[in-house]
């Protein structure tokens, strides 16, 4: 059993340096600033907001993202996240949840149960899913209530979704329109490829593609001649960061909604887009230096694949030492991380913004001593956080003030 899961609260009031390792450290002031920025952006634009709760998967962050009930819709990627958010449903802070994966046969019975507590919206991108919903309804003993569905539009990520020019799209819309098991709630896209953007202009261009994609698809149903209302949902963390650059009004009958998930946390992949500063990263992993190897100028920390993840990005390695950004985790085994000296343009930016104790070509024995504790910035917060059972929530001085327990599993 993970020690932190049983004893996390006993560390409240202690500095980060006294925590058992590896540990996930969450900066509450950074989380609050990150969530506030987006709440203000959507307020200024007067658009709806649907946070994705998959990154930190816990009540406290979900509450923050929703502005404590100011916004009342969420998107989840697992049933566990929906079950976890039921506490906020009971508090009256959440009304509806989009289950963000194309609907599967095994999720459906669980979603039917959850639908009794909050409105569940399904995601579809194939006619076969409508067959599935109809077959499920046919077997059900209760009266058939059509599931509200978002049709997923692929605007370039080539993950889930149909492109707007696919001949399958009008067929799918038609199929839903004539089905008693589903009804079109809206059109949804997620520009995962926006993580490759390196400038505000590039992210704004992807955002524009997102809006054009869902609006184009929705036009089939909302033609200005009927009184149909359709939600068009766009976003990803990089495009959400430039949401204020949205231009032009939407056609009559369409309601614009923004969604985003990673933005409260941020990570090196987000910093690499240049849309957030290194100091906007709320997540760090604390590890112990267990050994130093002067012969190969490397050190060993007790944070390996299981504590960090194998995610990579434009920053070197799998994680970067916060106050010595030229040192990163260059290789890993399950529980071993190897710190090595690395340099890149991105590292120089980190040094500029965070300050660094290291000098060029530094020797490992000058940088680390067995027994040191190091804080690491990680590549992708969503994946790393999923591997930790408790979060140590710290203030500006890195004193643990709270501990939060995320929802696990599927
Ligand atoms: C369907 C869907 N919507 C929204 C998001 C949130 O994207 P981001 O974490 O970039 O904000 C994701 C992330 O994977 C997603 O899969």
Predicted pLDDT at 179: 96
What is the average per-residue pLDDT within 377-401? 98
- Summarize the confidence of residues 193-212 as an average pLDDT: 94
> Does position 248 have pLDDT exceeding 80, yes or no?
no
Ligand 1: centre distance to CA 296 (Å)? 40
- At 10-37, the pLDDT tens digits run 999 999 999 999 999 999 999 999 999 9
Distance CA 92, CA 262 (A): 24
Write the CATH number of the domain with boundaries 29-263. Answer: 3.20.20.10
Q: In whole angstroms, what is the distance from residue 167 CA to residue 161 CA?
A: 13
- Atom of ligand 1 at shortest distance to CA of 194? 10
pLDDT in tens, 331-348: 999 999 999 999 887 788
Q: Which residue has the tokens 């058939």?
A: 144
pLDDT of residue 130: 98
Is the pLDDT at 9 greater than 80? The verdict is yes
pLDDT tens readout for residues 149-190: 999 999 988 899 999 999 999 999 999 999 999 999 999 999
Domain ranges of the chain: 29-263, 269-387
CB atoms inside a 10 Å sphere around CB 308: 25
pLDDT score recorded for residue 175:
97
If you average pLDDT over residues 320-329, what whole number do you get?
95
The predicted pLDDT at position 6 comes to 86
Nearest to 26 by CA among 337, 406, 354, 361: 406
- Would you state the torsion angle of the CA atoms of residues 359, 291, 382, 58, taken in this order, to the nearest 10 degrees? -120
What are the pLDDT digits (tens) for 31-50?
999 999 999 999 999 999 99
Ligand 1, CB cutoff 6 Å, lining residues: 52, 75, 100, 190, 236-237, 259-263
Residue 353: pLDDT over 80 = no
Note the pLDDT of residue 134.
96
Mean pLDDT of 233-243: 96
Ligand 1 atom nearest to 263, measured from its CA? 11
> What's the gap in Å between 224 CA and the centre of ligand 1?
30
With the most atoms of ligand 1 within 8 angstroms of its CB, the residue from 161, 190, 213, 231 to mutate is 190
Instruction: Return the pLDDT at 344.
Output: 80
Angle CA 274–280–285, to nearest 5 = 110
User: In the predicted model, what is the mean pLDDT of the chain?
Assistant: 94
Q: Looking at the predicted structure, is the pLDDT value of residue 298 above 90?
A: yes
Closest atom of ligand 1 to 260 CA is 11
Residue 131 — pLDDT band, cuts 50, 70, 90? very high
> What's the CATH fold of domain 269-387?
Lyase, Ornithine Decarboxylase; Chain A, domain 1 (2.40.37)
Nearest to 283 by CA among 314, 262, 259: 262
Percent of the chain with pLDDT over 90: 87
The protein residue whose alpha carbon is closest to atom 2 in ligand 1 is: 190
- The tokens for 51 are 């946070």
**pLDDT number for residue 256:** 95
Please write the tens of the pLDDT for every residue from 54-87: 999 999 999 999 999 999 999 999 999 999 999 9
């Amino acid at each position: 059993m993970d020690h932190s899961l049983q004893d996390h609260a006993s560390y409240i009031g202690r500095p980060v340096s006294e925590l058992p390792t590896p540990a996930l450290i969450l900066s509450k002031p950074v989380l609050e600033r990150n969530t506030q920025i987006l709440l203000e952006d959507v307020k200024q634009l007067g658009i709806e907001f649907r946070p994705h709760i998959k990154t930190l998967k816990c009540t406290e962050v979900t509450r923050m993202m929703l502005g404590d009930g100011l916004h009342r819709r969420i998107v989840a990627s697992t049933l566990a996240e929906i079950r976890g958010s039921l506490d906020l449903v009971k508090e009256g802070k959440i009304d509806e949840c989009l289950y963000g994966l194309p609907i599967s046969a095994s999720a459906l019975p669980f979603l039917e149960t959850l639908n009794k507590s909050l409105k569940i919206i399904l995601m579809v991108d194939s006619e076969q899913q409508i067959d599935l919903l109809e077959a499920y309804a046919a077997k059900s003993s209760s009266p058939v209530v059509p599931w509200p569905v978002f049709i997923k539009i692929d605007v370039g990520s080539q993950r889930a979704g149909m492109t707007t020019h696919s001949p399958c799209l009008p067929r799918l819309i038609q199929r839903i329109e004539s089905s008693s098991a589903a009804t079109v709630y809206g059109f949804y896209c997620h520009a995962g490829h926006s993580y490759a953007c390196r400038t505000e202009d590039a992210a704004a261009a992807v955002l524009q593609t997102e809006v054009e994609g869902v609006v184009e698809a929705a036009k089939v149903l909302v033609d200005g001649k009927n009184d149909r209302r359709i939600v068009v949902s766009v976003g990803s963390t990089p495009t959400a960061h430039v949401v204020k650059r949205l231009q032009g009004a939407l056609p009559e009958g369409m309601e614009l909604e923004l969604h985003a998930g990673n933005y409260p946390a941020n990570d090196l992949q987000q910093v690499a887009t240049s849309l957030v500063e290194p100091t906007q990263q709320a997540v760090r992993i604390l590890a112990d230096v267990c050994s130093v190897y002067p012969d190969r100028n490397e050190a060993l920390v007790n944070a390996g694949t299981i504590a960090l993840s194998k995610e990579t990005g434009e920053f070197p390695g799998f994680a970067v030492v916060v106050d010595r950004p030229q040192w990163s985790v260059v290789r890993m085994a399950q529980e071993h991380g190897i710190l090595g000296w690395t340099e890149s343009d991105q590292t120089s930016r980190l040094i500029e913004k965070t300050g660094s104790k290291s000098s060029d070509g530094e020797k490992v024995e000058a940088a680390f001593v067995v027994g040191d504790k190091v804080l690491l910035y990680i590549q992708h917060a969503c994946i790393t956080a999923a591997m930790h059972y408790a979060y140590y929530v710290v203030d500006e001085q890195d004193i643990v003030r709270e501990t939060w327990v995320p929802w696990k599993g599927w």
